[in-house]
Amino acid sequence: MAKWGEGDPRWIVEARPDGTNVNNWHWTEKNASHWSNDRLKQLLVGLTFDIDLANVRTTELSKCDGEATVNNRKAKLIFFYEWDVSVKWTGRHKDSDEDITGSIQVPNLSDENDADDLDITVSCKSNSKESSEVRQMMQRMAIPKVRNQLASYVRELKEEYGKDMILPTNKGSSSPAAKPSAAPSPAAPAAKSVPGAAPASSGASSSASSVSTSRVQEKCEFQAAPEDVFNVFVDKERTQAFTRGSAQLEPTPGGKFTLLGGNVEGNFVELVRNEKIVQKWRMNTWPSGHYSTVTLLFTSSPNGCLLKLKQDNVPTSSLESTKEGWHRYYFESIKMTFGFGAALM
């Protein structure tokens, strides 16, 4: 670490009593999922639509699956949110004494979609003439109102969870760059905490040859056949499912891959069907041009498949976050997504 008044300004700590995250250089993350669930319920339940044809009211947030996080990196806020939402509604047609019920579904509320791009559908449980008329009314009236409510959620998320993420700099004020960024485009989605997401240390230069490196070796047992686990890493749809982000894969020697909109990239070096994958692999936060070598070995085990991971040339500054990332965002996510943690039948 540099002495006070010397060296890299990112590491000058005398301006903050606690000496933490000076100038907002390090990656910090705040979980906004619980707040989001509550806020979406408040915004979407209790909406009323009263006209001469019918009186309708939303009654329940029946589905709210997903997550939301706010990240601060180099005094720049990055918002990640992804929700699959469903709201129940009930109403009564003026010419009927029976209650009519249905739901409003929003499967793609995420940082990759503006409010106008959301897929919002209105469904109705019955098929009577009155029900059809009420559903058509809801399509005209409810969809625009729900879009506005969801736009409010996004705005409030950025205001509520962005205000405390940027710490004062060593000059006593927030960094000029500390403004909430717009929702990332599909080409550059919000960077969840994934393997290697920690920034390179101040002692590492941008030259790949000068990076201090270490090795990661991990094992994970999946209750699935080796070929099923192998396919998770080479099939685009499966990869996008467990990473919950966009991916491009060319699973042939020399073929390129990008995960999470380019936050992870590299190329395939060797593939032995259902047995072995070797990749040149890097995070886009690593020094320019620096790649690690990932070797994945798939072998049969009494419970299904034993996956052995070896990753060489990992920047030492990213070693612990890389280990954690493989377990949390690869191994555990694969088990949860595909049920590979359940007993084989």
Q: Does 132 fall in a domain?
A: yes
Q: Per the structure, how many domains does the chain have?
A: 2
- 240 and 296 in a single domain? The answer is yes
pLDDT of 169 above 90: no
Lowest mean pLDDT among 63-72, 79-88, 247-256, 288-297: 63-72
pLDDT of 14 above 50: no
- DSSP 8-state secondary structure symbol assigned to residue 318: G
In whole angstroms, what is the distance from residue 224 CA to residue 211 CA? Answer: 38
pLDDT (0 to 100) of residue 242: 87
pLDDT of 252 above 80: yes
153 vs 174, residue with greater confidence: 153
Lowest mean pLDDT among 53-62, 164-173, 257-266, 314-323: 164-173
Q: Does 197 fall in a domain?
A: no
Q: Which of 162, 189, 224 is the last residue of a domain?
A: 162
Lowest mean pLDDT among 2-11, 84-93, 261-270: 2-11
pLDDT (0 to 100) of residue 256: 94
Backbone phi, psi, residue 343, to 5°? -65, 145
Domain around 293: 208-338
pLDDT band at 263 (very low <50, low <70, confident <90, very high): confident
**Sole residue written with tokens 């919002």:** 120
Q: Which of 134, 162, 190 is the last residue of a domain?
A: 162
**Residues 271, 253 contacting (CB under 8 angstroms):** yes
**Residues 290, 208 contacting (CB under 8 angstroms):** yes
pLDDT in tens, 273-303: 999 999 999 988 888 889 999 999 999 998 8
- 158 and 213 in a single domain? The answer is no
From the number of C-beta atoms within 10 Å of its C-beta (0-12, 13-18, 19+), residue 298 rates as buried
**CATH code where residue 144 lies:** 3.15.10.20
Q: What is the pTM of this model?
A: 0.44
pLDDT (0 to 100) of residue 209: 53
- 147 and 230 in a single domain? The answer is no
- 221 and 146 in a single domain? The answer is no
- 136 and 235 in a single domain? The answer is no
pLDDT in tens, 87-118: 999 999 888 888 999 999 999 998 888 888 88
In whole angstroms, what is the distance from residue 100 CA to residue 90 CA? Answer: 6
Among the listed residues 86, 80, 23, 91, the one whose alpha carbon sits nearest the alpha carbon of residue 55: 91
**CATH code where residue 298 lies:** 3.30.530.20
pLDDT in tens, 173-229: 444 334 444 333 333 334 444 444 434 333 333 344 577 899 999 999 999 999 999
In whole angstroms, what is the distance from residue 253 CA to residue 272 CA? Answer: 10
Q: Which of 104, 127, 162 is the last residue of a domain?
A: 162
